[in-house]
């Protein structure tokens, strides 16, 4: 298993799309938990690619190839995630904030919430604060979930919470945030209700949020 995970991590790191298809098939044939493979294989590969990018050992085309390879892995494995849709768990409007086009983590969170019984409305990437509020209202959402991978875009998470307060809508929606540069401190500072580090953590945390009647000062997170 650890050999397979490291082959998957390498294939994503080096953007080897043909190889990832075969490795995904190996995962399916051996009935291995897709979430574990995505996290410990795929995410590990992208982390190492991100590190190389930071150290100027990899460049934008490699980042794109790595991202595309990861998407193939997720697309192949998602249908094999264990479906827990036994009861309606709540309605989530999710998106990547304005200025940010990263969607692999956001998609993973959306899919994992969905297979765990949440009704998920995915607004995509580069989502403005206006669009988040409009679509959350239109869909009568319980939770607004925001993803950001760029430090420069994380500000829009704060803008959304501030707007909800100003427009007297803060109690209508629970707000959860996540993504690479986001941590519990940031979530607390901007007045979000919850933070989660991973897609599995997001499910656990959103379930917790659904149990809470009123928003509180205490941040919930995994």
Nearer to ligand B12, 19 or 68 (CB): 68
| x/- letters, 158..177, toward ligand B12 (CB under 6 A) | ------------------xx
- Per annotation, catalytic residue among 103, 147, 153, 193: 153
Active site residue 48: no
Alpha-carbon separation of residue 146 from 43, 47, 65, 100, 153 (angstroms): 19, 21, 25, 11, 11
Nearer to ligand B12, 7 or 113 (CB): 113
Q: What's the CA gap between 86 and 194, in Å, rounded?
A: 24
Q: Which of 15, 41, 66, 191 binds ligand B12 (CB under 6 A)?
A: 66
- Nearest approach, Cβ of residue 31 and ligand B12 (Å): 22
Q: What's the CA gap between 33 and 37, in Å, rounded?
A: 6
Q: Which residues share a beta bridge with 97?
A: 127
| x/- letters, 99..138, toward ligand B12 (CB under 6 A) | xxxxxxxx-xx-----------------------------
Please give the order of strands across the beta sheet that includes 194-195.
118-122, 90-96, 143-147, 174-178, 194-195, 220-221
- Nearest approach, Cβ of residue 133 and ligand B12 (Å): 16
Nearer to ligand B12, 168 or 216 (CB): 216
Of 7-15, 17-25, 82-90, 195-203, the window that binds ligand B12 (rule: CB under 6 A) is 195-203
Q: Are residues 219 and 196 in contact, defined by beta-carbon separation less than 8 angstroms?
A: no
Q: What's the CA gap between 42 and 38, in Å, rounded?
A: 5
Q: Which of 6, 10, 28, 67 binds ligand B12 (CB under 6 A)?
A: 67
Active site residue 80: no
Using DSSP, state whether 5 is helix, strand or coil: helix
Of 75, 125, 69, the C-alpha closest to 95 is 125
Q: Which of 34, 95, 178, 191 binds ligand B12 (CB under 6 A)?
A: 178
Q: Are residues 15 and 7 in contact, defined by beta-carbon separation less than 8 angstroms?
A: no
Of 105, 144, 98, the C-alpha closest to 125 is 98
Residue numbers annotated as active site: 100, 102, 153
Task: Report the interface residues with ligand B12, using CB under 6 A.
Answer: 43, 46-47, 49-50, 53-54, 60, 63-64, 66-67, 99-106, 108-109, 145-147, 149-151, 176-181, 196, 198-199, 202
């Amino acid at each position: 298993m650890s050999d397979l995970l490291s082959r998957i991590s390498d294939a994503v790191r080096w953007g080897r799309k043909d190889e990832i298809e075969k490795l995904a098939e190996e995962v399916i044939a051996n009935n291995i938990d897709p979430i574990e493979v995505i996290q410990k294989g795929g995410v590990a590969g992208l982390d190492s690619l991100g590190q190389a990018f930071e150290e100027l050992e990899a460049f934008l085309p490699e980042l794109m190839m790595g991202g595309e390879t990861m998407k193939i892995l997720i697309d192949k494995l998602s249908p094999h995630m264990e479906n827990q849709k036994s009861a309606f768990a709540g309605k989530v409007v999710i998106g990547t904030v304005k200025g940010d086009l990263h969607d692999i983590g956001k998609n993973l969170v959306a899919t994992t919430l969905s297979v765990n019984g949440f009704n998920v409305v995915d607004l995509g990437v580069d989502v403005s604060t206006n669009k988040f509020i409009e679509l959350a209202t239109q869909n009568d959402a319980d939770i607004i979930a925001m993803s950001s991978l760029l430090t420069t875009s994380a500000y829009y998470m704060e803008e959304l919470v501030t707007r909800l307060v100003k427009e007297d809508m803060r109690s209508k929606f629970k707000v959860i945030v996540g993504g690479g540069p986001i941590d519990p401190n940031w979530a607390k500072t901007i007045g979000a209700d919850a933070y989660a580090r991973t897609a599995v953590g997001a499910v656990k945390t959103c379930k917790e949020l659904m149990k809470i009647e009123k928003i509180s000062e205490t941040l919930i997170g995994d």
